[in-house]
């Protein structure tokens, strides 16, 4: 019994193998996406690293809220110094090999902000903690104290900066943002400060303070003498609250190579480009180290779930040892690679020639991505560009050349409608059906793609935040919709007009789509150094190979002329045999035919009864038996028909009424095409799509576009299914019908389900404001109006109060601010009176200032102080042209004052009592008014003691379970007074 070909281009085989391939690839991708590699069973796997100790350190760091403007922040600062000194003592390190420095002298004044749309001047006093670990190649002694360190002077052979910030936000405990970064730094200091682990080149560990309010700790490092020593850096951050630590972005391929050998790599250059193009609006200290100081380095961070980011669920309870180990082990390997580089990779003239920045060599742009969280690919962007350009030019020429060869050999069946039997004549044309299936793919692709994009708009219109908690439901809806619609169109068209060229035409369309996208991608690679389009380079390469195979298989076909002649001859024979016989057409049976016929009839005749034609005596032998004209003719016709039928049975018939010539095509080549198109592209599209969607799925609560997450999901759903599209018409109805059921179920769920849960809480922003002149206080909740109103309706203090909701002037673009009278929950941030006396009695004493201005002058001095606060601001109704604070000069590296002036100055101090002395100057108005007015505001952010901001406590207690509160600005509570100078 013959065994059928298991990879033949038949419905069962196509359905089975494609389904198995997608399941076998997508399931591991989902597992990797959702899980974190387990930590080692031995917590001291590496000498000097102790996971158990690091986890205990994390519980200490994240025990309380510790924003910059809180007493707990000072406690963490002191705890760090004690812990670092203990490590130094325990490892027997002296002051020559390890230096622990408390930087309480670095101040910074900037004329603008590094990011954000509202310009503001800032004065900041730093409280960074710095550890220097001497490398084998470093100069001896405390070289940073001799006053001769400059940015253009290479100290030794350069060193590595490792950075994390030890402040949290006022609404979060900071376990992952950035507690895990801090305990990773502590563990790395413990490791490298041991004599047996001394690095080749020195390491500077920076615990910076007040990253959350504007990256100020990293900017205060600008005046530290250790900065010029640092050539490379690793920044550790938390933009989510757990999961894997992702390599967000890097400056160049050389520093990325230090990360490459990590045991469990996780990262993609697409994320780096998303930051560079502004698609992801979050910023980290990376932009200070790379953009301002010119260092070369990497940004590693946690990125999900963002719903816990900056909330009270960013704590050790919701974190894991696995996440901590993933960051710690990856950081150790990366720092070993950076500090162990003994060549000139990070030394030499800069590409931009800027002598105000450290001379750390020329980096090359890189392309990098992980594969299944185990492998890591890395190559130069120049290589990708050369590859892209080669593909753009060579692949069309190769296909055109192959087409020319096929045409010269008379075997190019694509686009060939018919062929005449006679050379140079149009007589008796034979239909080839070469155009059948030409337009099916673009029609199905456009319709299915449009419906998927339409579903994105539909869900955004009706239930825009369902992706917040149900990413996979949205994925399932869009994948199943595209699959079913595309299959229905392609299978229906193939049923109506079967075509053996269907697969080939689909490959050509994929090639054309890939080529057009590659044109744009190549321009971005060259002009904007964007490497994230590498997936389209692989896609175009695969589509080219699939198209190449589709053309090559035509070589097994007969020439069109021979095929047309054969069809013509077959028709001639059939026409001849079915015509009425003529005397001239009589054909006698051949000897073999007659013998065979006689043998077949001997037994029948011998057993038959006598008739009027039976001989009277004896019988006639087979060799001399007489035949009549009728029997001769009938036997000849029968022989011809039997021979023709036998010949046809010996040949494979075309599949389900496809073109007759397709019987010669090999039935297994589709499997090679699918192997080329499928696995690798499915992996790239799957892991890129899952990561990007997870990053943006919960950003709608931040005021970001609600549509973008759905469009990204739609895009990658289509890309994910493109490899199967040339073969989908052969898929049996079982899978598409299942997809249809999935689509209907997920569509109903996505449109009707409530988008939030206790594990995926909707983030609403809180702030209470107090007019310290009038005593009027307002409680502000910011978010999407529908959910903000549902939340406020649960608050006792809001019952019976007028609710004012407006998106105009909201501090969060895209969100609505709803405010109500907060007199029933007055803040008690400054304990000015004994318990029992209303806090509003002492409002005026919270903030004090004095303005000195000579009559007629357009300058003034502000002396500002606030109780229990070290963060204030001055807002002016008209722009000022210049300012200084405590005689600290402006640092132009962070931007000059805008040409139109400033209307806001932010002030930060390292202690709680020293007042700010602010000198400002402004231009005279057109109406010769020389005065200026505005408001002075200060913030209070410490809610570790219940009752300090009762409105915030009330929100935590009474808000629905599906709501999380986060800080709106740097101030949970802001008090202000008006001034006129």
Other C-beta atoms closer than 10 Å to the C-beta of 78 total 12
- Tell me: pLDDT of 648 over 50: no
Cα 610–Cα 616–Cα 620 angle in degrees, nearest 5:
85
- Looking up tokens 């057409």 gives 585
Phi, psi angle pair for 709, to nearest 5°: -60, -35
Whole-angstrom Cα distance, residue 720 to residue 730?
Answer: 19
Phi, psi angle pair for 459, to nearest 5°: -65, -40
What residues contact 760, with CB distance under 8 A and at least 6 apart? 305, 307, 468, 469, 698, 962
DSSP 363-384: ---EEEEEETTTEEEEEEHHHH
Catalytic residue among 211, 290, 553, 954: 211
pLDDT for position 837: 76
- Tell me: pLDDT of 4 over 70: yes
3-state helix, strand, coil in the chain (%, to 5): 45, 15, 40
With b meaning 16 or more CB within 10 Å and e meaning fewer, what string describes 117-126?
eebbbbbbbb
Whole-angstrom Cα distance, residue 829 to residue 942?
Answer: 8
Residues 603-620: tens digit of each pLDDT:
434 444 444 444 444 444
Asked whether the bond before 305 is cis by omega within 30 degrees of 0, the reply is: yes
Phi-psi region for residue 897, left (φ > 0), alpha (ψ -120 to 50) or beta? beta
- Tell me: pLDDT of 902 over 70: yes
Decide which of 638 and 790 is more confident.
790
Contact between residue 901 and residue 943 where contact means Cβ atoms under 8 Å apart: no
Stretch (H or E) spanning 473: helix 471-496
Q: Is residue 86 annotated as a catalytic residue, yes or no?
A: no
- Looking up tokens 């962070």 gives 894
The confidence band for 425, taking pLDDT boundaries of 50, 70 and 90, is low
Whole-angstrom Cα distance, residue 787 to residue 762?
Answer: 8
Stretch (H or E) spanning 908: strand 902-908
What residues contact 683, with CB distance under 8 A and at least 6 apart? 25, 29, 371, 372
Decide which of 47 and 687 is more confident.
687
What residues contact 141, with CB distance under 8 A and at least 6 apart? 96
DSSP 218-236: HHHGGG-TTGGGEEEEEEE
Whole-angstrom Cα distance, residue 299 to residue 245?
Answer: 10
C-alpha R_g of the chain: 39
- Tell me: pLDDT of 686 over 70: yes
pLDDT for position 46: 82
Residues 304-349: tens digit of each pLDDT:
889 999 999 999 999 999 999 999 999 999 999 999 998 999 999 9
Identify the three-state secondary structure at position 135: coil
What residues contact 881, with CB distance under 8 A and at least 6 apart? 897, 901, 921, 922, 923
pLDDT for position 603: 43
Whole-angstrom Cα distance, residue 203 to residue 188?
Answer: 10
DSSP 12-64: HHHHHHHHHHHHHHHHHHHHHHH--PPPPSSTT-STT--HHHHHHHHHHHTSS
Q: Cα torsion for 368, 372, 375, 376, to the nearest 10°?
A: 10
Taking each continuous run of H as one helix and of E as one strand, the counts in the chain are: 23, 26
As a whole-number percent, the residues of the chain with pLDDT over 70 amount to 90
3-state secondary structure 232-296: EEEEEEECCCCCCEEEEEECCHHHHHHHHCCCCCCEEHHHHHHHHCCCCCCCCCHHHHHHHCCCE
CA-nearest of 935, 950, 927 to 872 is 935
State the average pLDDT over residues 496-522.
97
Residue 170 tokens, joined: 């006022």
| Inter-residue long-range contacts of 893-898, CB under 8 Å, 24+ positions, other chains counted | 893/222, 893/292, 893/356, 894/108, 894/110, 894/111, 894/112, 894/114, 894/219, 894/222, 894/292, 895/110, 895/111, 895/112, 895/113, 895/114, 896/111, 896/112, 897/111, 897/112, 897/121, 898/111, 898/112, 898/119
* 222-236, 557-571, 952-966, range with the lowest pLDDT: 557-571
Cα 969–Cα 970–Cα 972 angle in degrees, nearest 5:
80
pLDDT for position 588: 52
Q: Cα torsion for 446, 447, 448, 452, to the nearest 10°?
A: 90
The confidence band for 919, taking pLDDT boundaries of 50, 70 and 90, is very high
β-strands 203-208, 128-133 pairing: antiparallel
Phi, psi angle pair for 911, to nearest 5°: -110, -170
The two most distant CA atoms of the chain are separated, in Å, by 157
What residues contact 65, with CB distance under 8 A and at least 6 apart? 72, 168, 169, 170, 171, 172, 173, 174, 941, 942, 943, 944
How would you class 400 by CB atoms within 10 Å of its CB: exposed for 0-12, middle for 13-18, buried for 19 or more?
Answer: exposed
* 236-250, 286-300, 334-348, range with the lowest pLDDT: 236-250
pLDDT for position 981: 87
Mean pLDDT, the chain, rounded, equals 90
State the average pLDDT over residues 53-57.
97
Residues 843-892: tens digit of each pLDDT:
999 999 999 998 888 999 999 999 999 999 999 999 999 999 999 999 99
Handedness of CA 235, 241, 242, 243 (dihedral sign): negative
pLDDT for position 664: 92
* 33-47, 58-72, 439-453, 823-837, range with the lowest pLDDT: 823-837
Whole-angstrom Cα distance, residue 550 to residue 678?
Answer: 16
Contact between residue 975 and residue 770 where contact means Cβ atoms under 8 Å apart: yes
CA–CA distances in Å: residue 502 to residues 152, 413, 546, 737, 849: 64, 12, 13, 22, 80
Other C-beta atoms closer than 10 Å to the C-beta of 37 total 17
The confidence band for 285, taking pLDDT boundaries of 50, 70 and 90, is very high
pLDDT for position 240: 78
State the average pLDDT over residues 653-661.
88
pLDDT for position 945: 95
Phi, psi angle pair for 847, to nearest 5°: -130, 135
DSSP 643-691: HHHHHHHHSPPPGGG--GGGGGS-SSHHHHHHHHHSHHHHHHHHHHHHH
């Amino acid at each position: 019994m013959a065994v059928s070909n298991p990879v033949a281009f038949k419905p069962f085989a196509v359905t089975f193998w494609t389904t198995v391939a997608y399941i076998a690839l997508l399931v591991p991708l989902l597992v990797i996406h959702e899980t974190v590699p387990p930590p080692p069973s031995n917590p001291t796997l590496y000498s000097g690293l102790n996971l158990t100790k690091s986890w205990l350190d994390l519980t200490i760091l994240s025990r309380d809220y510790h924003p910059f403007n809180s007493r707990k922040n000072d406690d963490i600062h002191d705890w760090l110094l004690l812990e670092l000194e203990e490590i130094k003592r325990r490892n027997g390190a002296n002051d020559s090999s390890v230096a622990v420095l408390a930087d309480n002298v670095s101040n910074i004044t900037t004329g603008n902000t590094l990011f954000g749309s509202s310009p503001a001047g800032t004065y900041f006093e730093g409280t960074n903690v710095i550890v220097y670990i001497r490398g084998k190649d470093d100069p001896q002694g405390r070289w940073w104290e001799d006053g001769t360190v400059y940015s253009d002077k290479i100290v030794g052979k350069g060193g590595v900066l490792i950075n994390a910030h030890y402040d949290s936000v006022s609404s979060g405990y900071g376990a992952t943002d950035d507690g895990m970064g801090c305990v990773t730094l502590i563990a790395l200091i413990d490791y490298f400060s041991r004599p047996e682990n001394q690095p080749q080149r020195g390491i500077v560990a920076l615990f910076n303070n007040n990253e959350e309010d504007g990256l100020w700790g990293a900017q205060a490092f600008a005046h530290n003498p250790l900065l010029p020593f640092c050539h490379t850096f690793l920044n550790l951050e938390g933009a989510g609250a757990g999961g894997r630590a992702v390599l967000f972005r890097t400056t160049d391929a050389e520093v990325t190579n230090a990360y490459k050998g990590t045991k469990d790599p996780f990262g993609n250059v697409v994320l780096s480009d998303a930051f560079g193009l502004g698609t992801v609006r979050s910023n980290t200290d990376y932009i200070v180290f790379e953009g301002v100081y010119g260092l070369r380095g990497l940004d590693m961070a946690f990125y999900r779930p963002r719903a816990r980011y900056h909330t009270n669920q960013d704590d050790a309870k919701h974190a894991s040892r696995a996440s901590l180990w993933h960051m710690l082990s990856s950081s150790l390997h990366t720092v070993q690679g950076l500090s162990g580089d003994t060549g000139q990779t990070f030394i030499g003239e800069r590409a931009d020639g800027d002598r105000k920045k450290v001379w750390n060599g020329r980096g090359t742009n890189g392309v990098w991505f992980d594969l299944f969280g185990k492998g890591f690919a890395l190559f130069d962007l120049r290589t990708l560009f050369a590859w892209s350009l080669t593909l753009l030019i060579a692949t069309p020429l190769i296909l055109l050349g192959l087409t020319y060869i096929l045409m010269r050999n008379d075997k190019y069946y694509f686009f060939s409608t018919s062929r005449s039997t006679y050379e140079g004549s149009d007589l008796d044309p034979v239909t080839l059906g070469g155009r059948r299936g030409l337009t099916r793919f673009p029609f199905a692709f456009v319709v299915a793609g449009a419906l998927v994009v339409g579903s994105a708009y539909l869900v955004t219109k009706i239930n825009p935040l369902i992706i917040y908690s149900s990413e996979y439901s949205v994925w399932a809806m869009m994948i199943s919709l595209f699959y079913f619609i595309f299959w229905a169109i392609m299978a229906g068209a193939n049923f109506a007009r079967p075509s053996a060229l269907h697969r080939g035409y689909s490959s050509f369309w994929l090639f054309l789509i890939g080529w057009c996208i590659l044109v744009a991608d190549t321009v971005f690679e060259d002009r904007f150094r964007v490497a994230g389009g590498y997936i389209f380079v692989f896609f175009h390469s695969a589509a080219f190979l699939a198209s190449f195979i589709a053309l090559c298989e035509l070589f097994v076909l007969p020439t069109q002329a021979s095929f047309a002649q054969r069809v013509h001859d077959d028709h001639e024979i059939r026409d001849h045999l079915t015509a009425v016989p003529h005397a001239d057409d009589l054909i006698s049976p051949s000897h073999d035919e007659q013998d065979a016929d006689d043998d077949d009839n001997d037994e029948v005749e011998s057993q038959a009864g006598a008739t009027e034609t039976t001989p009277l005596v004896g019988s006639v032998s087979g060799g001399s038996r007489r035949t009549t004209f009728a029997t001769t003719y009938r036997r000849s016709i029968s022989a011809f028909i039997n021979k023709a039928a036998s010949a046809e049975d010996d040949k494979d018939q075309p599949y389900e009424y496809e073109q007759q010539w397709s019987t010669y095509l090999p039935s297994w080549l589709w499997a090679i095409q699918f192997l080329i198109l499928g696995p690798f592209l499915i992996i790239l599209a799957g892991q890129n799509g899952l990561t990007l969607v997870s990053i943006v799925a919960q950003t709608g609560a931040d005021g970001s576009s609600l549509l973008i997450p759905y469009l990204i999901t739609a895009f990658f759903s289509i890309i994910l299914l493109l490899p199967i599209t040339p073969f989908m018409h052969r898929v049996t109805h079982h899978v598409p019908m299942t997809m249809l059921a999935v689509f209907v179920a997920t569509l109903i769920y996505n449109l009707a389900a409530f988008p939030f849960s206790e594990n995926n809480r909707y983030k609403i922003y809180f702030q209470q404001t107090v007019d310290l002149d009038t005593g009027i206080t307002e409680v502000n909740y910011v978010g999407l109006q529908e959910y903000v109103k549902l939340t406020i309706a649960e608050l006792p203090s809001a019952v019976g109060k007028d609710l004012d909701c407006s998106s105009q002037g909201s501090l969060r673009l895209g969100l609505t601010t709803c405010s109500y009278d907060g007199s029933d929950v007055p803040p008690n941030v400054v304990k000015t009176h004994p318990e029992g006396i209303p806090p509003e009695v002492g409002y005026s004493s919270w903030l004090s200032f004095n303005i000195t201005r000579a009559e007629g002058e357009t300058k003034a001095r502000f002396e500002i102080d606030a109780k229990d606060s070290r963060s204030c601001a001055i807002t002016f109704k008209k722009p000022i042209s210049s300012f200084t604070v405590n005689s600290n000069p402006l640092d132009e590296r962070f931007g000059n004052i805008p040409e139109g002036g400033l209307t806001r100055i932010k002030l930060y101090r390292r202690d709680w009592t020293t007042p700010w002395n602010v000198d400002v100057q402004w231009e005279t108005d057109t109406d010769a008014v020389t005065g200026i007015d505005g408001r002075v505001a200060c913030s209070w952010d410490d809610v570790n003691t219940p009752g300090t901001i009762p409105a915030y406590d009330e929100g935590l207690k009474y808000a629905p379970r599906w709501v999380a509160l986060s800080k709106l600005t740097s101030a949970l509570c802001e008090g202000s007074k008006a001034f006129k100078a």
